[in-house]
Structure 1
Amino acid sequence: MVSDPLLDSLASRSDWSEPDSVLGTYVAQMDRLIKPVDPGVPLMLTVHGLLVSGDLIPQWQWFAEVSEMNDYSDAFYTGMAEHMKEQSDLAHDAIRARDTGGEVTHRQMSALLAPTKYIHLRNTRIYSPDSTPGDGRLWRGRLCDVSGWTPGLASA
């Protein structure tokens, strides 16, 4: 039997560096919402040995809320919030067009197929063995850094 180096390297790779597909789908669906979420969906995440607990919100909403904070109020966050909201609207329009038999534009399809790489939480508390969690805050993290998760919030 002849060995194929390409197939051998693909077979030996593990998906440990990939984000959890269920959590990724969950976050992607949240990111496609076009209306603000309040209070958000409670989640607990394990990230590099720390417990991160907070409310999942859409990416565009996270940028909008950051842009409203006094200490971060600038054009970058406002612009990013507007861009992310536009992408969310395009993805939503693509789903609507697809479901009604309409034509999906290239921009809509691109927004719909954009990979979800980050998770966005509000009212976040980070628990570590040697400190007490601070007040809730906005938090953004890479999905591939989440090693475990569960619905709900951590109790004090």
Structure 2
Amino acid sequence: MNESVERVPDSTAVVVEPVPDLQLQLLIQLLDKEMRSGLPLTLTLPAGVLHGDVIGHEAWKAEWARSLRQVEGEGANLIAEFPETVDQGINELRSDEDQRQLPRWIHLRDATLVLGGSTPIGLPLWRGRLADVSGWALGRPE
């Protein structure tokens, strides 16, 4: 785990996280403005390499909701509304200053996770913490 707790002179606990790449944050913020936008991207993560189309939060949320609607069972209708319900709850808790913060999460569509020595894993949608991305490049591996 990359997080640590640091004590400051007034004995207040402060959570310290790795700093995400500013250029990647700004790229994601730009993609958040246009729901249909996406860019091929390759990420380096502690677990391996991930590549796919990076998309904005709203596009990811819409596709996640669409995939949840395909779930069958008694709670299917409830779970299909889950992404929007989560966002509404988060927005209610956030201050105006929090709303203007740079993105802390990255979302990929049609992603492939490549772990050392194993078969690549296809993922229709993926969400990860930007602070866990150690490197990135535009495009996908050839």
TM-score by structure 1 length?
Answer: 0.63
What's the counterpart of residue 48 of structure 1?
A: 46
Quote the residue 1:26 is aligned against.
Answer: 27
User: 1:36 maps to which residue?
Assistant: 36
Matching residue of 1:149: 136
Aligned residues: 115
Q: 1:60: how far off? A: 1.1
Aligned position for 1:66:
64
TM-score (norm 2): 0.69
SS at match of 2:134: strand
Deviations 1:61-82 (A, max 9, x none): 101101111238522124347x
Corresponding letter in the other structure for 1:76: F
Match of 1:17 in 2: 18
Query: Aligned residue for 2:3?
Result: none
1:131 counterpart SS class? coil
CA deviation profile, 1:116-156 (whole Å, cap 9, x unmatched): 1000000000001121112341000000000000000123x
Could you say which structure has the higher helix fraction? 1
Q: In the TM superposition, what is the alpha-carbon distance from 1:29 to its structure 2 partner?
A: 1.3
2:112 aligns with one of 109, 122, 125: 125
Q: Flag the 1:128–1:110 CA change in 2: closer, same or farther, 3 A.
A: closer
Is the Cα contact below 8 Å between 2:20 and 2:130 reproduced in 1?
yes
Point out where structure 1 has 5 or more consecutive residues left out of the alignment: 1-5, 7-15, 88-105
Secondary structure of 2:121's match? coil
Taking a change above 3 Å as real, the CA distance of residues 135 and 66 of structure 1, as seen in their structure-2 partners, is: same
For the structure 1 residues 80 and 30, does the alpha-carbon distance in structure 2 shift closer, same or farther, using more than 3 Å as the test?
Answer: farther
Q: Deviations along 1:24-44, whole A, 9 cap, x unmatched?
A: 1111111222x323xx20000
Shift of 1:55: 0.1
AA at the equivalent of 2:25: G
For 1:21 and 1:51, how far apart are their aligned partners in 2? 20
Task: Give the Cα–Cα distance (whole angstroms) in 2 for the partners of residues 136 and 76 of structure 1.
Answer: 20
User: Which segment is superposed worse, 133-142 or 121-130?
Assistant: 133-142
Contact 1:63 1:80 in 2 (8 A): no
The one-letter code of the counterpart of 1:77 is P
